[in-house]
Structure 1
Amino acid sequence: MPKSYPTYLTLKDYSVSKEEFQLLHNKELDMLETYPQPEAEKLSEYYKSEDYISHTDTKRNLLEFAYHKVREICLTRKLKLINSFESESKTLLDIGCGTGDFLETALKDNWNISGIEPNENARQISNSKTNNAVFGSEELSNLKPHTFDVITLWHVLEHLPNLEMHTGLFKKLLKPNGTLVIAVPNFKSYDATYYKNFWAAYDVPRHLWHFSKTSISELFKNENMTLVKTLPMKFDPYYVCLLSEKYKSGFMNPFKAFWIGWLSNRKAKRSKEYSSQIYVLKNANS
């Protein structure tokens, strides 16, 4: 058990294995760690589900249809965000790019794009949209240092083993004064507190880490990177609450889910603890 951290919650993998896991609280970083964490060579087994929505373009039901409609809106907002940064040559690396929709959107706006996606099926779909600009995760460490104006991880950091190695690699790949954009769930949000061990955004063991604003700031402070902005992802609690209701009661209960999602956003206006948050970090100019 890592450093004998206290147990924050005990919960299970509702979507694939039904196995139980613990969330251990690293109070120094204000971060939760999934325990036990699957060995690297076995981790892919926990992604083998037809319901893993970010690896497919299917619209088989109302939930998937709504997910893709919301994604279209979010893509526009993500593009607007990266266009707000100063960029020398508009070089973008999207890590964990899924089926490539964000990269495709950036490509159409004249960004020079590259992507990393470990899932072979998702990578094939993304390459069909991006002129083969997406590579497997083994290529991440082979990319040329100080290449990218912007690196994005949209709900990806929580999946990556060896945080220290990856944060150092992001620093290495960014240009001086480059921008790192990270979107992750927030275990301090109202919907997380309400659903507790049924909160779908814990998604153990695929999510190895569970972050707060403090943990993001502290993790990247070690790399001489500064948190300059935090933004809400206001659509996320509605989707998360639908799944959480399914885990809790056996069906999605859309009216209850949307009420809790709305309430979470409303409470976050004061607390600034949204269900998912975007963190914008600036690389030191050195």
Structure 2
Amino acid sequence: MSYERLESCPVCCKAEFRNKLVVEDRTVSHESFAIVQCANCAFQFTNPRPGPAEIGRYYESDDYVSHNSGAAGLVNQAYKVARFFTVRRKVSLLNKLAPRCGQLLDYGCGTGHFLAAAQAANWQVAGLEPSARAREEASSRLGQPVGQESLASFAPGSFDAITLWHVLEHVHLLNETLAQLTALLKPDGVLLIAVPNVESLDAQHYRELWAAYDVPRHLYHFAPKTMAQLLKKHKLTIRQTLPMPLDAYYVSMLSEKHKAERAGGLLTVLKAGYKSNHYAEQHEGQYSSLLYVAGRRTPAA
């Protein structure tokens, strides 16, 4: 098994890193991976990591619910219940944030539930998804083909909105992909990026057991400041940063599961999620997950 090592920070391009944590892959391989932090800009990323040709085997789990609607178990059932509500909230947000109800690309669309809801709300939708199983299910759900990965199949300036729901942290070619996505936006289009937040209270509480590290599938571990720096590199402005409060409960449930015999019950999970959200209210919106609303220019006053 070969791994690739990043020699420079994807955000600031400096080459001095500090070891942050060692985290176990508790979903598939049970291997351990190092998370490093850039000494200059504080961006955190998994390093070394499996390359694009090797990463696929780390997704080979029937429990990886975003790629498999048939996944069983209590945690996955909770995910599906939450998805029922969050998909509708996502479409409502999209309708408020986008300049118009037009062309939508969901990059990393999984099994297509969000795209189907957007389609029902009169969006013209397109999706890309690397997982063959999820792609087949999404294509069936939408009644149209879903592509594999290539952004080159779309013309520049094609989309009123592009969404990445917990996807950017998985992308090997981070800067190249952001450059391509930016080029696909219409001048007044909106880019919605949802990612976990390493500065949340649940990240601090669970440390190496924090489920949202999800190594090695998560290659990058964002915070508001590093996300702002990254998007600025691509001439994108963050217009809003919105909370995703349900994620604190779901991530806490997974993190408690990682604690094995020391795991707490439902009350422990509810308390952890509540504390994380309450902390965020008092500390500049440092929620477990954040939705960054970005565009190529600031809207006219």
1:239 aligns with 2:250: yes
Match in the other structure for 1:211: 222
Shift of the 252–100 alpha-carbon distance from structure 1 to 2, 3 Å rule, reads farther
Distance 1:109 1:246 in 2: 36
Aligned residues, how many? Answer: 284
Structure 1 unaligned spans of 5+: none
Alignment correspondent of 1:281: 294
Asked if the contact 1:154/1:182 (under 8 Å) is kept, the reply is yes
Q: Which amino acid aligns with 1:263?
A: K
Aligned-residue sequence identity (percent) comes to 39
1:117 to 116, 129, 139: 129
Please list, as runs of the form range in 1=range in 2, the aligned pairs for 1:38-49 lying within 5 A after superposition.
38-49=50-61
How many angstroms apart in 1 are the aligned matches of 2:191 and 2:185? 8
RMSD: 1.5
Which secondary structure state, in structure 2, belongs to the residue aligned with residue 263 of structure 1? helix
- d(CA) in 1 for partners of 2:101 and 2:86? 24
TM-score by length of 1: 0.95
Partner of 2:97: 85
User: 55, 68, 81: which is aligned to 1:69?
Assistant: 81
Q: Which position in structure 1 is the counterpart of 2:120?
A: 108
- Normalising by structure 2, we get a TM-score of 0.90
> Does structure 2 conserve the Cα–Cα contact (< 8 Å) formed by 1:30 and 1:212?
no
Q: Is the 8 A contact 2:64 2:71 kept in 1?
A: no
Moved more, 30-39 or 105-114: 30-39
Structure 2: runs of 5 or more not aligned: 8-14
Amino acid at match of 1:220: L
Q: What SS does the aligned partner of 1:23 have? A: strand
Which residue number in structure 2 is paired with residue 195 of structure 1?
206
Contact 2:97 2:190 (8 Å CA) reproduced:
yes
Q: Does 168-177 or 127-136 show the bigger shift?
A: 127-136
Larger mean CA deviation between 21-30 and 117-126 belongs to 21-30
Kindly report which structure 2 residues correspond to 1:14-25, keeping only aligned pairs within 5 A, or say none: 14-25=26-37
- Following the alignment from structure 2 to structure 1, what is the Cα–Cα distance between the partners of residues 147 and 31? 31
> 1:33 — aligned with what?
45
Amino acid at match of 1:222: K
Equivalent residue, structure 2, for 1:249: 260
Contact 1:30 1:211 in 2 (8 A): no
3-state SS of paired residue (1:84): helix
Equivalent position of 2:11 in the other structure: none
Task: Say whether residues 1:143 and 2:158 are aligned partners.
Answer: no
Supply the distance in 2 between the matched residues of 1:68 and 1:245 (Cα, whole angstroms): 19
